[in-house]
Structure 1
Amino acid sequence: MSEEFSIGIDLGTTYSCLAYIDDNNEPVVERNYEHEDTTPSVILFNDVGEKLVGSSAKDMFLMYSSDRFVLDIKRKMGTDYSVDIDGIRYTPPTLSGLILRKLLKDFEENHGLDEGSVKSAVITVPAYFGLEEREATVNAGKIAGLEEVTLLNEPTAAAICFGFGNNQDGPKKVLVYDLGGGTFDVTILQIDGKSFTAIATDGQRLMGGKDWDAALKSIIISKIAEMSGLSEGEIEADSDIMDALVLDSEDLKKRLSTSESTRGTMTIGGRKVTYTVTREEFEDATKHLIDSTADTVAEVLDSKNLTVGDIDAFLLVGGSSRMPQVKATIANRFPGANIKIYDPDQSIAKGAAVYCKSRDVLSDVKADIKQQMDAGQPGPVNETEMASRVDEVAMATDDAIVVHNVLSKSLGVKASDGNGNEYISNIVFRDVTLPIVENRTYYPYVDGQLSVDVEIFENGARNNEDGMRVEMADASLVGSFPMKLPEDVTKNTPINIRFTVNDDGMVFAYVECKDQHAEYNLKTKTSMTDEEIRKFRGLVEHGLI
């Protein structure tokens, strides 16, 4: 039965990993069909209609045209990106669903389960992911066959793995530096026994090992051009060379993590060209990248007025954190930092499995508390009050932990000053501990206004005077909903908007005007309907996409 397993999945840009809690109550990484701990997040649509995921796809990268492959799809989560392959339109959730299905299918086969038996899992996401990216990830999980998908921030998952079974050290603050294949996060957490609470977070959407690969690719192209007599433009125009460099740059990057120099070869016009790349060359070419990550660390510390002395450990996680320049840069930029390179490839999936176990243990408790609260108050359940009551139970329950993330982006609604000047009025702010419930009162533009369009925007403002109002150009629309108003409203009739953000970072809005009220589960611009999800889920299950 699938309920016997608590499963955590690190859905990565370049590699993905599944872990579960074993019979000894320990988080263990599940090896895939190819007997690998991690699965390349690569999809091949071959010429006989098969969809191959993982090493079987990556190993044939030079045997098919690059337009038959999908790579780095995580970077496109929450966007309107789509690709048409063999007459079928694929979106980031459907493509990520194929990767997740591969992980789940291998797990089911390894444990003698019927295909589709696993119905629940925790999937990790970058801490900076906003509403659209999170919703897309949930949809990917459902397309893969899951019925219950819980999201957990990747740095929080790594911290859980770091703190799991290590509760005798007393309270500590940990900074998690998570440099993955395509994403980058920094999160500071307070760990106190079984309690893991995020304090602050930030990150960069397009920053990761793939950017180091691109820099290394440029170095190689320059060397090949010099040795072959071709121009760099001619080399870049050769699709065979560029496809080969996709794999070569990743391999050479890994070698340069353990060697001061490495060699590579490329056949050009029938001639074998051998080139050498040194670690010094590589680090010089990527200095701006690593410095940018250190800047983010400094900004996160400054946002809470913390110093290096306040942090008990700097945890370096994510496969790209193995590069020597990462530890060297952090040590140089933050003297005295207690730096630990902690299980870069597996800690996030393992931490997610631990969290999944806790979620499973507390599921009945949450249901009982919610039922009690529903019976005792009108309107939606207060998420913060419920979380407080669940936390009390969790602290006294074996196999349960208390986890609270922070909101990665501020959320507000479009408003007007009455003179036609529109702006974003923020209601909840980044780095606030989740879950959170906040209210704000607004008023109709005119007497007798029939309805309002509540448009919700994300932005990077902080909770200060400047952050209360944000320019439209500095925010991004993530969703909207209409609400009819009572017929007798005036410009002085209050419209109360309540935002509830749960621990997954998902937003619910409750709007009240006089005796009229409505509750909305926000749908973003790239939302999928339940019917669309069921359709793609069926196609995945039957191998039709």
Structure 2
Amino acid sequence: MYVGIDLGTTHSAIAVLSDGEVTLIKNIHGDYLTPSVVGISDNGEWLVGKTASERLVTHPDKTVAEFKRYMGSQKRFRLSDQSLTPEELSAIVLKSLKEDIERSLGKTITEAVISVPAYFNNQQRQATFNAAKLANIKVERLINEPSAAALAYSLQEQTKAEATYMIVDLGGGTLDISVIEVMDSIIEIHASAGDNYLGGANFTDAIVDQILKQWQLNENQLSSVEKSKLLSLSEAAKRKLSSTEKTTINVYIQKKLHQYILTRDNFEKMCKHLIDKLRRPILRALQDSRIEISELSGVILVGGATRMQLIRSQIAKLSSQLPMTQYSPDLAIAMGTAIQANLKSQNQSLSDIIMTDVCPYTLGVEIHNETNHPEFLPIIERNNTIPISRSRTVYTKHPDQKQVNIRVFQGESFNPKDNVFLGKMIIDLPKSNKIEEIILTYTYDINGVLEVESTIMSSNRKDKIYLQNDNQLTEMQLATWSAQLEKLKTLPKDQEKNIALLHKLERLFEENLGETRTYISNMIQKLTLSLDTHDHSNVENTVQQIQQELQKLEQ
């Protein structure tokens, strides 16, 4: 049986779907939400969830939270005499969630769909796979959190009217923005953007910083218990502002009672820099989707941090409409993962739901430009619908070059070192004493498999590697994925519509004379040069321009 797991930064949740209805699973405490907190007792036993959360203030050296923010990094967390990675801590939470599911359903669970922030890169997704593996859970698929929310929305609304929504997913530690189109049980993700280091915790930290500044206290001089107490009270005050205009924080620090009055107005001022960070991915997602704010049918809020009145008012100002808050922001993602889990198991009751997704980051290769400086060459650009295959042409640097090192990166920066390194492929070159033309083809599917294929044009020799969210690919997996990905790999020059357009231009060249023939000749050259780049985006733009020119010519 497949289950859905929302592995959150501050809270996690689990759900299953049966007979078309989503059932949220309660933990051992009878709650739907399990704090993503891990601790170690005085007797050396692991504590998870609510039990560990209760000790964050009293035993800060033996308790840790918000480790999801560091998934895929080298950071380690110390708990008493233990040192753990974010993956190991996440595995402890997942194991606890697995026990809750099995206790509730009375059966062993080994497979699940787990949600991740849409803006997680491949290293962070890999870390999530590793955590699940440590918890003895087989991940059938990772689903982007906004996509899961879209599925939950689709099931609840069951609308057949065409509508476009922006999903704002602000959790405890991450922000995801997705622009989606929903029509007749079809969900199309147009664009995603986000910030892996912006969440509700940052707004709490802003309160702490302001309090320390007003009281002229040095954080480094506070004890770990005092820091935890101040953080806990600031979090409670932040939540209280959702229902009141002001609240008071009273805390003993260094044996002295300190008082701070927090109002909505000063909270908004101290969080201005965070609101600016929130706006940027919203505008990027809209820009990438080519959709204006005024064209949105609504804004759906997901994630516990969207309960803040500050966030809701800012979203309302930006979108010129009240955000949709009728869905439980804390549980929508868990519900969506359960729906995806049943789609994965080909549940007949959901067979009519179709969802597309996008590649949130650009995938490319490191090249050296004319000044011999490295730069990032995009091959699959962000927010393209997946599965997708794209090709670009690169050239060797020297005629006597013996090898080429293909270094694969993921990110948006011009400098490769500022992007995420995914892997490399070293290919041997033929002895030709000339500059070699190499076609690089990237093929990316919904399971996170990236195939990188190189073709040396002079010899037609092909080499390929697979980069994916798992430790190793078995021979059987390689064969299966190779067959699936092969269907996607058609160069622009081999696509039927482009061949047809070229043939049409050649026919028109034969039929015409004089200036018209010269005009058509220029179009043929333009199309041929564009097709030779193997750049899908370049070809699509050129084809569109030529078709417009032909329409004028035929009028």
Common fold, TM-score beyond 0.5? Answer: yes
User: For 1:501, which of 401, 420, 444 is the aligned residue?
Assistant: 444
Tell me the SS of whatever aligns to 1:479: strand
CA 1:491–1:103 in structure 2 vs 1: closer, same or farther (change >3 Å)? farther
Shift of 1:297: 1.9
Partner of 2:553: none
Percent identical: 28
Amino acid at match of 1:496: I
**1:45 match:** 40
Q: How far apart are 1:521 and its partner, in Å?
A: 2.2
1:431 counterpart = 2:379:
no
Tell me which of 2, 8, 30 is aligned to 1:12. Answer: 8
Instruction: Answer yes or no: is the 8 Å Cα contact 2:122–2:422 preserved in 1.
Output: no
**Cα drift, residue 217 of structure 1:** 1.5
Task: Pick closer, same or farther for the CA change 1:159–1:398 going to 2, 3 Å.
Answer: closer
Deviation sequence 1:144-171 (CA, Å, 0-9, x none): 1112331111111111111115333312
- Per the alignment, residue 403 of structure 2 pairs with 451
Q: Does 1:112 align with 2:106?
A: yes
Matched, 1:121 2:121: no
Letter of the structure 2 residue corresponding to residue 146 of structure 1: I
SS of aligned partner of 1:426: strand
Aligned to 2:355: 403
Q: May I ask how many residue pairs the two structures share in their alignment?
A: 472
Partner secondary structure for residue 51 of structure 2: helix
- CA distance in 2 between partners of 1:189 and 1:285 (Å): 32
- d(CA) in 2 for partners of 1:478 and 1:415? 14
Can you list the C-alpha shifts for 1:19-52, whole angstroms capped at 9, x where unaligned?
A: 1113x32112111111111111111123322121
CA distance in 2, matches of 1:530, 1:336: 48
1:29 to 24, 40, 61: 24
Could you report, residue by residue, the CA deviation over 1:218-244 in whole angstroms, capped at 9, with x for unpaired residues?
Answer: 343356x3xxxxx41278533321111
1:198 aligns to what? 189
Partner of 1:215: 206
Return the alpha-carbon distance in structure 2 between the equivalents of residues 520 and 89 of structure 1.
34
Greater CA radius of gyration, 1 or 2?
2
Q: 1:416 to 1:220 in 2, by over 3 A?
A: closer
Counterpart of 1:437, as a letter, is S
Query: In 2, are the aligned partners of 1:480 and 1:523 still within 8 Å (CA)?
Result: no
Amino acid at match of 1:421: H
Which structure ranks higher in relative contact order (CA pairs < 8 Å, sequence separation ≥ 6)?
1
Contact 1:18 1:349 survives alignment (8 Å): yes
CA-based RMSD: 2.6
Q: Deviations along 1:221-268, whole A, 9 cap, x unmatched?
A: 356x3xxxxx41278533321111122121111111111122333234
Amino acid at match of 2:339: V
Q: How does 1:59-138 map to 2 (within 5 A)?
A: 59-64=54-59, 66-83=60-77, 85=79, 89-113=83-107, 117-138=108-129
Alignment of 1:34-433 (within 5 A): 34-64=29-59, 66-83=60-77, 85=79, 89-113=83-107, 117-222=108-213, 225=215, 231-233=216-218, 236-336=221-321, 339-340=324-325, 342-361=327-346, 398-417=350-369, 419-433=371-385
- Rounded to whole Å, the distance in 1 between the matches of 2:455 and 2:86 is 35
Q: Is the 8 A contact 1:486 1:516 kept in 2?
A: no
SS at match of 1:299: helix
Other-structure match for 2:493:
none
Measured after TM superposition, the shift of residue 132 of structure 1 is 1.1
1:519 matches 2:510: no
Please give the alpha-carbon distance, in whole angstroms, between the structure 1 residues aligned to 2:398 and 2:213. Answer: 65
Q: CA deviation at 1:450?
A: 3.7
Describe the shift of the 1:18–1:452 C-alpha distance in structure 2 as closer, same or farther (beyond 3 A). same
Give the whole-Å Cα distance in 2 for the aligned partners of 1:82 and 1:528: 21
Which sections of structure 2, spanning at least 5 residues, go unmatched? Answer: 475-555
Note if contact 1:409-1:431 (Cα within 8 Å) is conserved in structure 2: yes
TM-score, normalised by the number of residues in structure 1: 0.80
C-alpha distance in structure 2 between counterparts of 1:252 and 1:337, whole Å: 24
Contact 1:485 1:516 in 2 (8 A): no
For residue 405 of structure 1, give the secondary structure of its aligned residue in structure 2: strand
1:192 shift after superposition = 1.6
Q: 1:452 to 1:47 in 2, by over 3 A?
A: farther
Q: Which amino acid aligns with 2:50?
A: S
Q: CA–CA distance in 2 between the matches of 1:478 and 1:194?
A: 37
CA distance in 2, matches of 1:84, 1:324: 35
Q: In 2, Cα distance between the equivalents of 1:124 and 1:449?
A: 45
Indicate how the Cα distance of structure 1 residues 128 and 89 shifts in structure 2: closer, same or farther if over 3 A, else same. Answer: same
Is contact 1:198–1:406 with CA below 8 Å preserved after alignment? yes
**SS state of the match for residue 342, structure 2?**
helix
Structure 1: which 5+ residue stretches go unaligned?
A: 226-230, 363-393, 462-469, 532-545
Question: Partners in 1 of 2:92 and 2:473 — Cα distance?
Answer: 18
Distance of aligned partners of 1:530 and 1:57 in 2 relative to their CA distance in 1, 3 Å threshold: farther
Alpha-carbon shift at residue 444 of structure 1 (Å):
3.0
Q: Aligned residue for 1:391? A: none
Letter in 2 for 1:440: R
Q: CA deviation at 1:446?
A: 3.5
Q: Out of 379, 394, 397, which is 1:442 matched to? A: 394
1:528 Cα offset (Å): 5.6
**Aligned partners of 1:128 and 1:409 also within 8 Å:** yes
Equivalent residues of 1:178, 1:318 under 8 A apart: yes
Change (3 A) 1:438 1:34: same
Structure 1's 245 and 270: CA in aligned 2 closer, same or farther, altered over 3 A? closer
Aligned-residue offset at 1:62? 2.9
Instruction: Tell me: CA distance 1:243–1:169, structure 2 relative to 1, closer, same or farther (3 Å).
Output: same
CA separation in 1, counterparts of 2:206 and 2:78? Answer: 29
Question: Matched residues in 2 for 1:255 and 1:169: separation?
Answer: 38
In 2, are the aligned partners of 1:480 and 1:522 still within 8 Å (CA)?
Answer: yes
Q: Which amino acid aligns with 2:240?
A: R
Cα distance, 1:269 vs structure 2: 4.9
1:192/1:489 Cα in 2 relative to 1: closer, same or farther (>3 Å)? farther
After superposition, the Cα gap between the structure-2 partners of 1:99 and 1:447, relative to the gap in structure 1 and judged at 3 Å, is: same
- Which string of whole-angstrom CA distances, capped at 9 and with x for unpartnered residues, describes residues 294-332 of structure 1? 343233223333223311110011101011111211222
TM-aligned CA deviation for residue 419 of structure 1: 4.9
TM-score (norm 2): 0.79
Q: CA distance change for structure 1 residues 429 and 20 in 2, over 3 Å: closer, same or farther?
A: same
Could you tell me how far apart the structure 2 residues matched to 1:46 and 1:197 are?
47
Cα shift readout 1:194-238 (whole Å, capped 9, x = no counterpart): 221111111112111001111122343356x3xxxxx41278533
CA separation in 2, counterparts of 1:222 and 1:492? Answer: 62
- Secondary structure at 1:164 match in 2: helix
* Equivalent residue number for residue 534 of structure 2: none
Is the Cα–Cα contact under 8 Å of residues 449 and 485 in structure 1 kept in the other structure?
no
Aligned ranges 1:452-471 → 2 under 5 Å: 452-460=404-412, 470-471=414-415
CA distance in 2, matches of 1:341, 1:285: 29
Q: Residues 49 and 450 (structure 1 numbering): CA distance in 2 closer, same or farther, change over 3 Å?
A: farther
